[in-house]
Amino acid sequence: MAEVVPRWEWRTWDKDIKLNINLKDYEHTRHVESSEVYMLSTECNKNSKVRENKMDIKSLQEVNDDALEQWKPIKKAAFPLPGKELEELYEIFRIPSPVLDKERYSFADFLELAKKEIGRKNYNRPREKTDGNRQELPVFFPYFVITPPILSI
């Protein structure tokens, strides 16, 4: 298995940001639309998204003085998941796992089971990608807030 290398990212949720970059200046740029679900738990600092039934979970390692965030991929999984792997997700999100009695679980199953513990936001995201170097060029999200549910104690 290839070594997992944390990467530096800069994120903003500012709805009025002005960006002085023209994506047409980059060669081999192609427009990609993706439907994604972002998820947050109030119990951990993991960044999770699901795109095309594939979950990607990253853990925040550090934030430098320029507000660059270093994220390390810690889990990639494709739905449907066996119950044992679904239990791992509950451990990662630091939330109690329900009784899992099915052989496999879809992403919809996971969302239903964790709806009280995990906040989520559906988002159709425009992205500009360059071919060859697999680099994603910056395209900023419209402003949105993910509000995790209130956890009962």
78-89 per-position pLDDT tens digit = 999 999 999 999
SS3 113: helix
Full-model pTM: 0.69
Per-residue confidence (pLDDT) for residue 24, from 0 to 100: 59
Do 130 and 27 meet the contact criterion of CB atoms below 8 Å apart?
A: yes
**Nearest partner of 30 among 135, 124, 123, 122, judged by Cα:** 135
**Distance in angstroms (rounded) separating the CA atoms of residues 138 and 31:** 12
Mean pLDDT of 136-149: 45
Write out the H or E segment, with its range, that includes residue 86. Answer: helix 83-93
Residue 79 neighbours by CB under 8 Å, 6+ apart: 50, 53, 54, 55, 105, 106, 107, 110
Mean pLDDT of 100-115: 92
Q: Flag whether pLDDT at 58 surpasses 70.
A: yes
Mean pLDDT of 63-85: 90
Do 5 and 70 meet the contact criterion of CB atoms below 8 Å apart?
A: no
Query: Using 50, 70 and 90 to split pLDDT, how confident is the model at 42?
Result: confident
Per-residue confidence (pLDDT) for residue 56, from 0 to 100: 92
Q: Flag whether pLDDT at 101 surpasses 90.
A: yes
Residue 1 neighbours by CB under 8 Å, 6+ apart: none
Higher pLDDT, 26 or 57: 57
Mean pLDDT of 65-69: 83
